[in-house]
Structure 1
Amino acid sequence: METKGPNGMGRPVRRVVIAGGGTAGWMAAACISKVLGKQLDIRLVESDEIGTVGVGEATIPTLLNFHNLLEINEQEFMAETKATFKLGISFENWRNVNEDYIHSFGLTGTDHWTAGFQHFWHKGRERGLAGDYGDYCLELRAAQENKFAHLPRNGMNYAYHLDASAYARYLRKFSERLGVQRIEGKIVDVTTSALTGHIRSITLDSGADIEGDLFIDCTGFRALLIGEAMKVKYQDWSQWLFNDCAAALQTASAGDAVPLTRSIAHAFGWQWRIPLQHRVGNGIVFSSRYVEQDEAIAALQANIVGEPLMKPRVIKFTPGQREQVWKGNCVAIGLSSGFLEPIESTSIHLIQRGIVRLMQMFPANGIAQTDVEEYNRQAATEIEHIRDFIILHYKVNNRLDPYWRDAREMQVPVSLQHRIDLFRQTGRVFRVPNELFAENSWIQVMLGQGIMPLQHHQTADLMGDAELSHFLGAIKGQVDKTVAQLPAHQAYVERYCSAPK
């Protein structure tokens, strides 16, 4: 019989069941056990027979914050996951064929309190005093030169390229040391309460029933708990995000690892290239409306470097999100909650944010509907901002292929159209509170995709040529000096975190 606690919010949460492993499941297990493990019984159910998507091998700098929370040793983690450093993403052929740019993780130039650096740069370009926008960003210039080092006072913003399967194994060991119990088995049934609608237990193919107070759905696109059992509908965003398939394969390394994810546009989608210490992750993301699967895979195989280590593995998906990611006593984390596409390496970030948000609202004394509603509100707002940023890459282009032409002509969310119009007319970018991508990310992609502001802030007009030239030159000079002193990325990785042979 279901009972209410003294606070009217239902029973206290003492038993946490994580359904599914992979990156999402073991990130959840690691964080919950690190923070609350002494107070909870945490069990993770996964089957060795069920593969994981496992292609989320590029990350963004927020993962460093997650690792700091867990007190993870970076060198140990990088050695075990055969990781390399990442300073940004190289977008090749996106605006048009043979036109490339880099979206880096760094800050560009120096802002004034009235106006961002882009206004001073824009004025400098008008006067013939400024170089490329990227000349004033340390991370971007280091990426171009294939260099990297840790700098004092966290002076270099970076992320990782990693082996996603090895990362899950690493976090499994981490979690089990903290008391998480792994249970092998396939989920064949989910029992819910007729009274509350909450999940009471999951049944495995062995016949075992796993009961819990809080269930975390990490079952990937299958969404066995949040979708099938809890009947939460899925919002389809394919009217803005055309891609619905990906094919992944791995190749042997054929050169030094670069500190960049390469994103190479094709007529019907784009291709990724992610360098690890021991191999390279490759894949192609495409829309089945514009190309046949075999043709897309052939394009991928024709554009790889190094010996293939596997046959291409196809993944089909629908871009979008769940209408609720927390319902009753079920929280969806990872692909079960929604998926956009790999373009800006946000999948692991969204896993991380879902877990951290759950820890901040953890229902130790019983589930409060107000917490559920706030969690869902924050999750929806966050993914919608990321959605807009990703749509931007497709909306603004000069390519002639039908896929890109249709993307350019589509109606985008009003929120995104406002940002585009604002930057094009005034050069201004304003960050929404708690938004993942900061102003400089929007600026780099808008400029990279070909949007040049029609005007700049009048503060930049107050500088004469000599003053503006000195201002810009001093920033560029400091960037150039620092980059010149950096070691090669490959050599730094080999010294710092080389994986055991």
Structure 2
Amino acid sequence: MPETTDSNACNRPIRRVVIAGGGTAGWMAAAALSRTLGKVLDIKLIESDEISTVGVGEATIPTLVTFHRLLDINEQEFMAATQATFKLGISFENWRDVGQDYIHSFGITGKDHWSAGFQHFWLKGRERQLASDYGDYCLELKASQQNRFAHLPKGGMNYAFHMDAGLYARYLRRFSEGFGAQRIEGKIVEVCKDDASGHIRSLMMDSGEEIEGDLFIDCTGFRGLLIGQTLGAHYQDWSQWLHCDSAIALQTRSVGEAIPLTRSIAREAGWQWRIPLQHRVGNGIVFSSQHWDDEQALRTLRDNIEGEVLTEPRVIRFKPGQRSETWIGNCVALGLSSGFLEPIESTSIHLIQRGIVRLLQMFPASGISPADVAEYNQQTRNEIEHIRDFIILHYHVTQRRDSAFWRGCREMEIPASLQHRIDLFRQTGRVFRVPNELFAENSWVQVMLGQGLVPEQRHPVADLMDDGELARFLDGIRDRVNKTVAQLPAHQTYVQTYCPGERI
């Protein structure tokens, strides 16, 4: 059981923040804390050059754009420093069935009515043979198909980034140090607790130095040195729903223009990613060790990559799930130490970001409030469970029967919360978004339609239009999308002009 705390420890002002671990999670935390509260906090980050980070979180979602704006990070500078390209969505290939592809884009498809989503009008249009593909009514999706991109006025294009995770951590380190954060090199050999409160008092280094703090942030990766090993937060295993537990990553030289899409290519026992950067391509395969051994997975990956291999393949083991609590006493866990969902929807960095923003919103400057801790943990739990359900959807709603892996995904019992969403959409065509969840209605619709789930009914508001009105409505949206896309430059050209990276 997690340690209890006493009132004196809770009431202690927070002045010294110690971040255990670097990588993306550690340096994102340092950047946000130093930029926001650096004038009133002493911020130290401990990391060792001898301990490698996972470093494969190279595809992001649009919330990172917001995070950078909050910190006043210059986008061109960031993209040049991290060899970044733009991302408009994810191409899901072979997921519905072998040879059947779709795109989950970041845009808004069509135009909703206040009483019903656009999908209801599209369903009637398809029934009356007046509608083309659902994606034809989404600007970001059509732009990604044609490899085009540009910033549009008034945030008219929703986008994210592909970036080099190692370079991103390096960039954020420089940023954080500019606002007073201090990096300490070395390994943590002991976590020292206060006997009375159960709070963490200090971290002992291999050098003999003792680093004291008032608030500790655990960014030590899968091992969860502080939150798990020291404070006893239980890890909830979700492998009954998410069968993949291994990944192999490697990098290749670019052989063509970078596209504004992450490619997710389903294989017999998992899926393969391709993430195009300015100077290289990030590649990897996520798989179930119950169905493939490392050799089979690596062979499949090598048989399906392009360009010269630049790095040795790296095997990563993981257990999908979350900590029972991510804030205990004076310790908050971020990144892999708090839990892990496989990267199919590029949510890892988003969850780090949300944990940081939530901590800043509830920052215990005058002392730790048990009510804040409870609220933080509840919000974190709700958010990751909604994302978990969205990821399970990709595996469960599929027509694939070609391997034991996919048959198992189709036949497994899923969380009741997800089953309700599937039943609701299948029977009525409706999606009701849970307050504050990450994925909006359009994301659920794109994936459910893409995976082959077709509603049996539609909202009667669509029947208020006759065929002529409906045709003009649908054609007008599609024509505006096509006209805008035709005016966009090629993605590669735009990147080379906007944020060319340094030669590597």
TM-score category by the smaller chain? over 0.9
Tell me how far apart the structure 2 counterparts of residues 465 and 261 of structure 1 sit (CA, whole Å): 37
State which of 445, 463, 466 in structure 1 corresponds to 2:465: 463
Normalised to the residue count of structure 2, the TM-score between the two structures is 0.98
Offset from partner CA, 1:286-345 (integer Å, 9 cap, x none): 010111111001100110011000111000000000000000000000000000100000
The Cα shift of 1:222 comes to: 1.3
1:130 and 2:96 matched: no
Task: Verify the 8 A CA contact 2:200 2:331 in the aligned structure 1.
Answer: yes
Aligned residue in 1 for 2:213 = 212
RMSD of aligned residue pairs (Cα, Å): 0.9
State which of 445, 448, 455 in structure 2 corresponds to 1:446: 448
Q: Residue 180 of structure 2 aligns to a residue in which SS?
A: coil
Aligned residue in 2 for 1:484 = 486
Aligned residue in 1 for 2:439 = 437
**Aligned residue type for 2:325:** Q
Task: Verify the 8 A CA contact 2:6 2:196 in the aligned structure 1.
Answer: no
Aligned residue in 1 for 2:430 = 428
Tell me how far apart the structure 1 counterparts of residues 346 and 423 of structure 2 sit (CA, whole Å): 26
The Cα shift of 1:10 comes to: 2.5
Offset from partner CA, 1:369-396 (integer Å, 9 cap, x none): 1110000000000000000000000000
Q: Residue 39 of structure 1 aligns to a residue in which SS?
A: coil
Aligned residue in 2 for 1:40 = 41
Tell me how far apart the structure 2 counterparts of residues 197 and 349 of structure 1 sit (CA, whole Å): 30
Tell me how far apart the structure 1 counterparts of residues 239 and 354 of structure 2 sit (CA, whole Å): 23
Tell me how far apart the structure 1 counterparts of residues 10 and 499 of structure 2 sit (CA, whole Å): 48
Aligned residue in 2 for 1:472 = 474
Q: Which runs of 5+ in 1 are unaligned?
A: none
Q: Residue 10 of structure 2 aligns to a residue in which SS?
A: coil
Aligned residue in 1 for 2:152 = 151
Aligned residue in 2 for 1:247 = 248
Tell me how far apart the structure 1 counterparts of residues 115 and 27 of structure 2 sit (CA, whole Å): 44
Q: Residue 285 of structure 2 aligns to a residue in which SS?
A: strand
The Cα shift of 1:108 comes to: 0.1
Q: How many residue pairs get matched?
A: 498
Tell me how far apart the structure 2 counterparts of residues 320 and 371 of structure 1 sit (CA, whole Å): 23
Tell me how far apart the structure 1 counterparts of residues 338 and 502 of structure 2 sit (CA, whole Å): 36
1:407 and 2:409 matched: yes
Aligned residue in 1 for 2:95 = 94
The Cα shift of 1:9 comes to: 3.0
**Aligned residue type for 2:473:** F
The Cα shift of 1:441 comes to: 0.2
Aligned residue in 1 for 2:184 = 183
Q: Residue 382 of structure 1 aligns to a residue in which SS?
A: helix
Task: Verify the 8 A CA contact 1:3 1:11 in the aligned structure 2.
Answer: no
Aligned residue in 1 for 2:393 = 392
Task: Verify the 8 A CA contact 2:78 2:171 in the aligned structure 1.
Answer: yes
Tell me how far apart the structure 2 counterparts of residues 247 and 187 of structure 1 sit (CA, whole Å): 28
Aligned residue in 1 for 2:22 = 21
Q: Which shows bigger deviation, 289-298 or 53-62? A: 289-298
**Aligned residue type for 1:318:** K
Task: Verify the 8 A CA contact 2:253 2:281 in the aligned structure 1.
Answer: yes
1:369 and 2:370 matched: yes
The Cα shift of 1:4 comes to: 5.3
State which of 481, 499, 502 in structure 2 corresponds to 1:500: 502
Task: Verify the 8 A CA contact 2:237 2:319 in the aligned structure 1.
Answer: yes
The Cα shift of 1:3 comes to: 8.7
Tell me how far apart the structure 2 counterparts of residues 164 and 338 of structure 1 sit (CA, whole Å): 19
Task: Verify the 8 A CA contact 2:251 2:283 in the aligned structure 1.
Answer: yes
Aligned residue in 2 for 1:115 = 116
Aligned residue in 2 for 1:200 = 201
The Cα shift of 1:500 comes to: 2.1
Tell me how far apart the structure 2 counterparts of residues 65 and 145 of structure 1 sit (CA, whole Å): 26
Tell me how far apart the structure 1 counterparts of residues 388 and 485 of structure 2 sit (CA, whole Å): 33
Tell me how far apart the structure 1 counterparts of residues 426 and 313 of structure 2 sit (CA, whole Å): 41
**Aligned residue type for 1:470:** R
Q: Residue 366 of structure 1 aligns to a residue in which SS?
A: coil
Q: Residue 500 of structure 1 aligns to a residue in which SS?
A: coil
Aligned residue in 2 for 1:61 = 62
Aligned residue in 1 for 2:419 = 417
Tell me how far apart the structure 1 counterparts of residues 501 and 321 of structure 2 sit (CA, whole Å): 37
Tell me how far apart the structure 2 counterparts of residues 175 and 73 of structure 1 sit (CA, whole Å): 14
1:194-343 alignment, distance < 5 Å: 194-343=195-344
Q: 1:191 to 1:137 in 2, by over 3 A?
A: same
Q: Name segments (4+ residues, structure 1) moved above 3 Å.
A: 2-5
Offset from partner CA, 1:253-296 (integer Å, 9 cap, x none): 00000000000000000000000000000000001011111100
**Aligned residue type for 2:447:** V
Q: Residue 345 of structure 2 aligns to a residue in which SS?
A: coil
Offset from partner CA, 1:33-68 (integer Å, 9 cap, x none): 111100011000000000000000000000011001
What percent of counterpart residues are identical? 71
The Cα shift of 1:469 comes to: 0.2
Tell me how far apart the structure 2 counterparts of residues 128 and 228 of structure 1 sit (CA, whole Å): 60
Task: Verify the 8 A CA contact 1:354 1:379 in the aligned structure 2.
Answer: yes
Offset from partner CA, 1:143-191 (integer Å, 9 cap, x none): 0000000001110000000000000000000000100010000011101
Tell me how far apart the structure 2 counterparts of residues 466 and 81 of structure 1 sit (CA, whole Å): 50
Q: 1:284 to 1:3 in 2, by over 3 A?
A: closer
Task: Verify the 8 A CA contact 1:86 1:261 in the aligned structure 2.
Answer: yes
Normalised to the residue count of structure 1, the TM-score between the two structures is 0.99
Task: Verify the 8 A CA contact 2:6 2:197 in the aligned structure 1.
Answer: no
Tell me how far apart the structure 2 counterparts of residues 9 and 49 of structure 1 sit (CA, whole Å): 35
